[in-house]
Amino acid sequence: MERPNILLFFTDQQSLDAIGCYGETPCKTPNIDGLAREGVQFLRNYTICPLCSPARASVLTGKEVHAHGVTTNVHELGCNVSEIPDSPDLLSRRLSNAGYSCGYTGKWHIGNGYPVSRGGLPVSPGTPTTRGFVGQDTPENRGGWQFPDFWEHLTKLGLEEEIPKYKRNFGDTQGELTVVDHPIEGTCEYFLADNTIQLIDDFKKEGKPFFIWHNTWGPHGSYISHRDYYNLYKDITIPEPANFRLNEEDKYLPATYKRTAAKKDWGYFQEQKRRYYALTTQIDAMLGRIVAHLKSEGLYENTVILFTSDHGSHFGYHGGLTDKGFSHYEEIHRTGCIIMDPRKPADSKSARCDSYTSILDIYPTILDFAGVPAPEGLDGFSLRPLMQGEKENLRDHAFVEFYGLGHVNTTMMSIVYDNLKYGWNPTNRDELYDLEKDPLQLVNCIDEPSYEIRLKKIRQKMFEHLKNHRNPLANLFNNSVLIREYS
């Protein structure tokens, strides 16, 4: 059988409520929803870390965060590895050595191309073109709008006067709120889609199968959308979520760090969410452009398309939390995951899988589709056995690790098992939520006597996971939690 082309469409900080096929939402994503109708939708997919750099490094390496060392966003305090090291086992190298052309578009954020670390030690600069890809090198996480190649794109369109408008404003924790009126071709999302379309054309001429990793900078803030997309949402009412109001005890949990300093009502977050949805729909339209191009070039029927995101967003929930990180909440841990294989028979499409899956599964799944053997020591599994009905489950739990953000370091581990979610906070009170009775995580049950037996079991499950995945915190967890609590 002819080896398929593979497209990984990877968004940034896209919550489940910004994907139409994942539940009732005003957010319009017809092209993502179209992939779900033609493919398999994974309903309980988790990131390995609710942070950009660590999650992306896990896609490229197939390893948990503690194993690849990109423990926070690159070049921040606490990041063990700030330029992703080259290796024959990187996804791009593995595929290239098997005869695939590998292309890259958009946000990278697993290396800034610096020749030295924060401590001044020499390192090998890690950018897409030094790690097995051709395409864009976007070393710094500047939102795309401050990327010189994008400015050149605007200049070619005669829109150079628009460049100053793309200066990013960090005065707000979620970025500036900007609506643009120039032609849609002058948006960053259109520019990125152009690059992927060009890669498709170039690779088609080479006559080899290709893998393209298309990365957007949105819908992460700043929420710079075109007027046409903003107008879809500017007058809608987005109801206040049931977990928007702050529980008194939540004031003392680690998540407080991400709570807005000034108290803001739901109206503030509602307007942000309108623009977030607008940018999401704009990004979705660019997926549509890419898919349409694959069809026009006669490549669609042999191109496997994967869609997912690095993590979700707090977006005002739990008392005005912003951004991501520093919590055990589902809003930042769960992400969409859809795989569309056009070669599958029609009666196997539009499937929904309720098994636990992880962003760690992207690496082995892509290798499986490409017919490339996976290296030993991966922390994820190929999702193809689930897609083909050969297995019902790959794991009995979901695991998330977090080590800090923005030069503020901490350690937090989360595990979902038996409809409970347990959060280990080594320097704070632990958390336990009953996701079956309390899916919005309003009540911390950690001290409830009725959960004592189940708490012991889920803590044991976390220890087993840490030990089996060679996490250096396994013994600390055993000594400080299991032995202390239950001896």
Alpha carbon distance 190, 200 (integer Å): 15
Residues 388 and 446 in one domain: no
Question: Cβ neighbours of residue 75 under 8 Å, at least 6 residues apart?
Answer: 82, 112, 114, 117, 118
Please give the residue range of the domain that contains residue 310.
5-402
**Residue 383 and residue 247 share a domain:** yes
Question: Which CATH number goes with the domain that contains 445?
Answer: 3.30.1120
Same domain (yes/no): 255, 122:
yes
Residues 144 and 111 both lie in one domain: yes
| Number of compact structural domains in the chain | 2
Q: Does residue 428 share a domain with residue 389?
A: no
Domain boundary, last residue among 402, 430, 462? 402
Q: Rounded to whole angstroms, how far apart are CA atoms 122 and 146? A: 27
Residues present in the chain in total: 487
With 0.85 as the threshold, say if the pTM is over it.
yes
**pLDDT attached to residue 347:** 64
Alpha helices in 161-252 (DSSP H): 188-206, 227-230
Do 423 and 390 share a structural domain?
no
pLDDT, tens digit, for every residue of 376-392? Answer: 999 999 999 999 989 88
Over residues 146-156, mean pLDDT: 89
Q: What is the mean pLDDT of residues 7-11?
A: 98
Dig out the tokens for 44 from the structure. 């309980």
* The last residue of a domain, from among 370, 385, 402: 402
Q: 266 and 395 share a domain?
A: yes
Q: Residue 374 is encoded by which pair of tokens?
A: 């996976």
Output the domain CATH number for residue 65.
Answer: 3.40.720.10
Q: Does the pLDDT of residue 174 top 50, yes or no?
A: no
- What's the whole-number mean pLDDT along residues 88-103? 98
**pLDDT, tens only, 53-82:** 999 999 999 999 999 999 999 999 999 999
| Pair (393, 453) in one structural domain | no
Domain end, chosen from 348, 376, 402, is at 402
What is the rounded average pLDDT for all residues in the chain?
92
In this structure, of 250-254, 319-323, 468-472, the range with the lowest mean pLDDT score is 250-254
- In this structure, are 378 and 474 located in the same domain? no
- Report the share of the chain in percent with pLDDT over 70: 94
- CA nearest 190: which of 156, 234, 221, 165? 156
Whether residue 85 sits in one domain with residue 202: yes
Return the pLDDT at 348.
Answer: 66
Does one domain contain both 234 and 267?
yes
If asked whether residues 291 and 237 sit together in one domain, one would say yes
Quick one: tokens of 6? 């593979």
